[in-house]
Chains A and B, each alone.
Chain A
Amino acid sequence: MRVLLVEDTEGLGEAVRDQIADDGHAVDWVQTLAFAEASIQTTAYDLILLDLILPDGHGFGFLRKLRTAGYSTPVIILTARDQVSDRIEGLNAGADDYLVKPFDLSELSARVAAVARRYRGNPNPLIRVGDLEVDLGDHRISRNGQPVELTAREWALFEGFIHRPGMLLSRSQLEDRLYAFGAEIESNTIEVYVSRLRKKLGRDAIATVRGMGYRLETHDQ
C-alpha cells in the first residue's frame, strides 16, 4: 500500500514510518498539513495516518475538507487526545479509526491492515488467488501449502496485485508503490521485481500485457 503519514513529531514520525515500511508499505512522511495536501494532489494513497495537532492547523479541519471534497481514502487518526468526545468528533469528521498515543507499533500495524481490508470491502485477511493463499494480516503467503518468503519491497509490489487480481496495473502504478522506499527507480526496476515475484510465486503468476503493464493471473476463476 502507499501510505501518507502526517506527523510533526520528529522521532515518532521516523519510528512510525520505519514500522509501516517494514510491513511492506510505501510511506510518504510529511510534517505539515500543507505538505499533506500537496502530496494528496500528486499521488494516490491507499491510507492516511493523521496526527491532529499540527504546526499549520488541526487534523479534524483537514479531514473534513478531504471528505467534503469526496476524497475517500481511509484515514487513521494518531493522537494524544484520549477523550471519547474527541474520538467521536474524529469519527464523525470521517476518520476510519482512532489510535491514542502512546501506542504499540504492532497495534498500529494491525490497525493499518484492518482498515485497509475493510476499505477494500473484504474484512477477511485471508485471500485465495489460484494456488496462492495470502494472509494479509501476517503478510504470509503460501503456494500449494508451501510458505513463500517475500522481502518488504516484493510484498509492497505484490500487495498491489493481490487487491486487484485479474486487473491490469500500469508501470507507473507499480512504481508508485516502490517510490516511497526512497529507491532510485531505474527503467528496469519493475521488471526486476516482477521477475523476482515470478520466481517465488510461479512463472505464470504474473502476466505481462505488452506496452500496458502487468496482471495477476487468476487461473481457477
Chain B
Amino acid sequence: MTNKTSLQKSLGIGLTLGVTLLWLLGVTASGLVAQHEMNEVFDSALEETAQRILPLAVTDILNRENGARNQRAPALKDHDEYLTYLVRDRQGNLLLQSHDADPRVFGPLPQEGFSNTSTHRIYGASAVSETIYLEVAEPLAHRREAALEAGLALLMPLTFLIPVSLLGIWWIVRLSLRKVVDFQQSIESRGAGDLSPVAGDQLPREFEPIALAVNRLLERLHRALETERSFTANSAHELRTPLATALAKIQRLKTRIQSDQLKADIADIEESLRSLSVLSGKLLELAKAEGGGAISQSRHDLVPILAMIVSDFESQAPGRITLTLPESEVTSFLDPDAFAILVRNLIENAIKHGSREQPVEVSMAADGTLRVRNGGNLIPPDQLALLRNRFARSKTHATGSGLGLAIADAIATGAGMTMHLRSPATGRQDGFEAELNVACI
C-alpha cells in the first residue's frame, strides 16, 4: 500500500488538521470577544476614575491662590502609574497633573469623551461650565498585554489537546478501517490459484460493494479457469485415445510381419508415435501448470502421492530410484495432481540426464522439503540458469522434450514456491539437484 492511497493516513491528517483549524478559529473568536469585553471594562474604569478625580481636582484648583498655575499632584508613595491625568483650561493651559503624567501623550487641546492616540486611550470630562477639563490616559500597551495574556491562556490547552486529538482520530480511523485492512490482507495472502470468495460480511457498509465486486470478479475468473482446465483435460483425453490406438495398432502389426526392413520401419513409426505422445503430454502438462490450479481448496497429505509416483518409475528404471519418506504426514495446499506432475517431471529429468551408474535420490523431509538428486556431470552456472526455460536442455545426449523443468518451475511459481536448481548436488562433487519446499503453502 503506498502513502498516496492510505485512507488511514489521509483521514488521520485531514481530520486532525480540520479540527485544529476550527479550534484556532474558535480561540481567535473567543479572544476577540474577550478583548472587546475587556476594553469595555477598561473604558468603564477609565471613565469612573475621571469622574472621581474631577470634583477633587476642581476643588483643589479653585482653592488655590491666584497665579499658581501648574501643579503636580504629589505621590503619597512612590509607584508606577497606569492611569495618568492632566487638568487643563479650555485653552490647554495646564492646571494640574498626576505625578507621572507626560503632557506630550495628550492632545494640544482638551477633549471630552473617549479618544485614542497612537499609544494611549484617553477619556476627557469637563466641569465649571467647561472651563476646567480633566483627561485621564491609560497606555494601550497595558490593554494589549492583558489581551495577549488572555489569548495565551485560551491557546495553552491546545498544545495538549491537539496531540491528544491526533492520537484519538488516528486510533478511531485505524479501528474503523481494521476490517478493511483484514479484507485486503486476506486477498493479498492468498495463493495464486485460490479463487474462493473472500469473506466481506464484516466490512463497514461503505466497503461492502467493493467486496461484492471482488467476489464477482473472482467468480468470473474461477469460471474462466475451470473452462480452461476442462478444455485442457478434454484435449488430453481426445489426443490420448487416438495416439493409444495408433501405438497399439503399430505394436500389433510388428508382431505379424516377418520382413526385417519392415520391422525396422515400423519401429521408427512406433518411436515417432511415442515421442508425439510424450510431447503432447508435456504440452498439456505445461498448459495445466501455467493455467493456474496449482493450489487446492483443502490440505492433502503428499507423502503417499510421492510414493505412488516413484513406484510408477520402477518398471522404467528398476532399482535406480532411492526414496526417503518422512514418518509423519506432509500436508499442503498444493494440488495433488500438480504435485504429481511436478515430481514426475523432476524424476524423469533425473533419470534421463543423470549418470546411469548412480542412483536418483528422491527424498521428502518432515518439514516438506522435497529433493530430487542425481549423479552426473557438473552443469555450468550459465547453463543452470537457462534450464527453467522451455525447450532448454543442458549439453546432453539424452533425448527429451526440454519441457520437464519448465513444467516443474511453472507449477512451483504458480503455487508461490521457489524451486532451487543446484549443480553440484548438496553433499556431492558433481551431479544435479532440484529442491523446493512443498509444505510452505
A contact residues vs B (CB 8 Å cutoff) = 9-12, 14-16, 18-19, 22, 53, 80-85, 87-88, 100-107, 110
Contact = CB atoms under 8 A, between A and B. Distances in A.
A67 to B, nearest CB: 21
Contacts of B247: 102-104
B252 A101 contact: no
B277 A84 contact: no
Contacts of B238: 80
Interface in B190-214: none
B281 interface: yes
A110 B241 CA distance: 21
A105 B281 CA distance: 19
Contacts of A100: 240
A197 B440 CA distance: 63
A106 B251 CA distance: 9
Given A15-B245, A101-B244, A80 B252 contact: no
Q: B241, B273, B336 — which one has the most chain A CB atoms within 10 A of its CB?
A: B241
Interface in B36-87: none
B421 to A, nearest CB: 24
B252 A105 contact: yes
Which 10 residue pairs across A and B have the least CB separation, nearest first?
A: A15-B248, A101-B244, A102-B244, A80-B240, A84-B340, A11-B245, A12-B245, A80-B237, A83-B337, A102-B243
Contact of A84 (B255, B274, B305): B305
Nearest to A16: B248
B299 to A, nearest CB: 14
B440 to A, nearest CB: 20
Contacts, number: 77
Given A11-B245, A53-B237, A101-B241, A85 B252 contact: no
21 contacts: A11-B249, A14-B249, A14-B252, A15-B248, A15-B249, A18-B252, A80-B238, A80-B239, A80-B241, A83-B233, A83-B340, A84-B309, A84-B336, A84-B339, A85-B337, A88-B336, A101-B240, A102-B240, A103-B244, A103-B247, A106-B251
Contacts of B233: 81, 83
Contacts of B239: 80
Given A12-B241, A18-B252, A87-B308, 9 more contacts: A9-B245, A11-B249, A14-B252, A81-B236, A101-B241, A102-B247, A102-B277, A103-B244, A106-B251
B315 interface: yes
B337 A102 contact: no
Q: B244, B246, B277, B339 — which one has the most chain A CB atoms within 10 A of its CB?
A: B244
Q: A16, A19, A80, A110 — which one has the most chain B CB atoms within 10 A of its CB?
A: A80
Contacts of B308: 84, 87
Contacts of B243: 101-102
A80 B315 contact: no
B250 to A, nearest CB: 9
B255 A11 contact: no
B337 A104 contact: no
Contacts of A107: 315
B305 A82 contact: no
A202 B252 CA distance: 34
A151 B340 CA distance: 42
B106 to A, nearest CB: 107
A138 to B, nearest CB: 15
A102 B255 CA distance: 18
B236 A80 contact: yes
A12 B245 CA distance: 4
Given A84-B340, A85-B336, A105 B237 contact: no
A181 to B, nearest CB: 17
A12 B281 contact: no
A112 to B, nearest CB: 14
Contacts of B255: 22
A105 B277 contact: no
A87 B341 CA distance: 13
B248 A19 contact: yes
B340 A15 contact: no
Contacts of A19: 248, 251-252
Interface string B147-187: 00000000000000000000000000000000000000000
Q: B237, B238, B274 — which one has the most chain A CB atoms within 10 A of its CB?
A: B237
B149 to A, nearest CB: 83
Contact of A82 (B236, B248, B274): B236
A149 to B, nearest CB: 17
Contacts of A22: 255
Contacts of B274: 102
Contacts of B252: 14-15, 18-19, 105
A57 to B, nearest CB: 16
B244 A80 contact: yes
Interface in B327-386: 336-337, 339-340
Nearest to A102: B244
B370 to A, nearest CB: 15
B276 to A, nearest CB: 9
A184 B78 CA distance: 153
A53 to B, nearest CB: 7
A98 B277 CA distance: 18
